[in-house]
Amino acid sequence: MTTSPVADCLFCRIVAGEVPSTEVASSAGAYAFRDIDPKAPTHVLVVPRTHAPDLAALAVADPAGLAAVGELVGEVARAEGLEAYRTVFNTGAGAGQTVFHAHAHVIGGRDLGWPPG
Ligand code: 5GP
Ligand code: ZN
């Protein structure tokens, strides 16, 4: 199942090329671009081309889109030369989600402590 772009969704507009972004990798089902406010030397966002508000909703509405995100995360890591990296899906404003189009943060290139501070 796929979903239609949402007109006022920033990441739908980035996927459509209506808002400029710096591409890192791309596939039929997902798109990866640099975060505008990086929190690490590598900070890339990987989004499905279909709209879903968060990870869990994406898994239900478009499992193939979720798989495409996971595959592109691996491609980003290889392209950026990351042996270790963190993948984060914030869900809900209380967890820091500000854009309600599912996205993986791929963060790397610096020491990443666990558990996060
Ligand atoms: P969230 O806070 O929803 O987990 O992540 C949203 C991310 O989108 C933030 O890290 C923020 O810096 C990034 N972001 C917000 N607006 C833009 C934009 O216009 N372009 C890009 N490339 N990233 C953006
Ligand atoms: Zn969207």
13-26, pLDDT tens digit by residue?
999 999 999 999 99
Query: Do β-strands 42-48 and 85-88 pair in parallel, antiparallel, or remain unpaired?
Result: unpaired
Q: Per the structure, how many domains does the chain have?
A: 1
Ligand with minimal distance to 4 CA: 2
Cα 6 to ligand 1 centroid, rounded to whole Å: 17
- Answer yes or no: is 15 within a domain: yes
* Residue 80 placed within a domain: yes
Predicted pLDDT at 108: 97
115 prior amide bond cis, ω within 30: yes
For residue 3, the CA-to-ligand 1 centroid distance in Å is 21
The answer to whether residue 76 sits within a structural domain is: yes
| Within-domain flag for 62 | yes
Residues annotated as part of the active site: 103
5 domain-assigned: no
3 belongs to a structural domain? no
Q: Which two tokens stand for residue 63?
A: 């499992």
Reported in sequence order, the residue ranges of the chain that DSSP labels E, i.e. its strands, are 23-26, 30-34, 42-48, 85-88, 104-108
pTM over 0.90: yes
Digit-coded pLDDT (tens) for 25-47: 999 999 999 999 999 999 999 99
- Domain enclosing residue 60, as ranges: 10-108
Q: Identify the sign of the CA torsion 57, 60, 62, 68.
A: positive
Q: Is residue 53 part of a domain?
A: yes
85-88 vs 23-26, strand pairing mode: unpaired
96 lines ligand 1 (CB under 6 A): yes
Tokens of 20: 């400029």
Residue 117 lies in a domain: no
Domain CATH number, residue 91 = 3.30.428.10
Is the pLDDT confidence value at 2 over 70?
A: no
